[in-house]
Chain A
Amino acid sequence: MTLLPFCEWLAGTRGSIALHQSILIYPLLETTHVLTLCVFLGTAVMLDLRLLGLTLVRVPMSEVKRRLGPWMVAGFVVMIITGISLFYAIPVRTYQSIFFRIKVAALVLAGLNAFVFHSTIDRRLAGWDRDPVPPRAARRAGARSLVLWAIIVVAGRMIAYNWFDCTRQPQWAIVNTLAGCVVEPR
């Protein structure tokens, strides 16, 4: 399955071209995307560190979730909206960026991790709500979340670099495969 034709069509739309060429809107979107990291990931990191028993140990986990959750969700919504807009501005190159693909894969894994956490150990929260150091399953979920989000941030930043762009050939075969590059046979 390839979404390349869709991305090529997207790149030709008027909105995409306008966004791509805008001198002010694109940098503003990017700045918002980066700074919202403080709101979304900042609160998420504090929540994960609480799961690891490394901070806010006197605050019940349910309280951390209830009070910081809305900020995390609000930040996430802004991240997604600005992120999709940034993709919309440069669809083809981003789609074929190996870093973008790593980022999306890690995002899916982070979502899965959150889902598993909520449907297992989080269900039994009443039993460990006030524990300074939560049970092992909760700590593991927190650690996995931190690692995945670190990968997402770093991979996201690396999209800006063109080391592995499809337009730069020859490239390692593995890179071409993972990035979905269409290479003319020599």
Chain B
Amino acid sequence: MWPLPFFQWAEATTIGEMIRTSAWAFAVIESFHLLALSVIGGAVLIVDLRLLGLGLRTQPIGDLARDARPWLVGSLIVMLVTGVGLFLSEPMKCYESRAFALKMTCLALAIVFTFTVRMKVTMAEEGRVQPTWLKLVALVSLALWFGVGASGRWIGFSS
């Protein structure tokens, strides 16, 4: 299913080689990956909790989504950049990892969902979207992002 030549090419890149042979690089990149995880977690959660009628539920949804967006986008960029670095250090392991395949699937779906459906719903005029739909959007968002996190952690367990 995955294009093997792409992974072989990734395995041969200079930057991947550098991260792989360095004693510290992987650990340092992963640390930033984790720090960004905390931020993206907060940025996703405060909006999804609000959609569920929890957390900052007295605030307008649009305001919260706007406040969270720079932190969501910023941390997502850090996640993607550090994630590419981690991937380049062990592409063949990723090629064989089912957890990696699951993570990439969840990630693609999460990004698309967040910047289309979820964005549209959070930016809609207050009261135009039924609370049931708001809750559904929040649950889908949480499930997808949780899937990314859990399967991401599991890449490390598979050998």
Q: Footprint of B on A, CB under 8 Å?
A: 27, 30-31, 34-35, 37-39, 41-46, 49, 55-59, 63-64, 67-68, 71, 149-150, 153-154, 157-158, 161, 163
Contacts and interface: CB of A to CB of B under 8 A. Distances in A.
Contact of A38 (B23, B41, B58, B63): B41
Contacts of A27: 154, 157
Contacts of B42: 38, 41-46
B71 A161 contact: no
Given A31-B154, A55-B68, A71-B49, A63 B58 contact: yes
A37 B46 contact: no
Given A27-B157, A31-B153, A39-B45, A45 B38 contact: yes
Given A41-B42, A59-B56, A163-B23, A31 B150 contact: yes
A37 to B, nearest CB: 5
B59 A43 contact: no
B56 A150 contact: no
A68 to B, nearest CB: 6
A71 B149 CA distance: 19
A67 B56 contact: yes
A1 B58 CA distance: 51
A37 B41 contact: yes
B2 to A, nearest CB: 24
Interface stretch (B27-35, B107-115, B129-137): B27-35
B98 interface: no
Given A43-B42, A43-B45, A67 B35 contact: no
Interface string B48-82: 01000001111100011001101100000000000
Interface size class of B (residues with CB under 8 A): 20 to 34
Interface string B79-103: 0000000000000000000000000
Contacts, number: 97
A71 B55 contact: yes
B146 A35 contact: yes
A64 B49 CA distance: 13
A39 B41 contact: yes
Given A35-B150, A38-B45, A46-B46, A157 B38 contact: no
B38 A38 contact: yes
B56 A63 contact: yes
B35 to A, nearest CB: 6
A33 B30 CA distance: 16
Nearest to B153: A31
B55 A67 contact: yes
B153 A34 contact: yes
B71 A55 contact: yes
Interface in B123-159: 146, 149-150, 153-154, 157
B104 interface: no
Contact of B67 (A41, A42, A55): A55
A64 B63 CA distance: 14
Residue of A38, A39, A43 most packed against chain B (CB within 10 A): A38
B71 A49 contact: yes
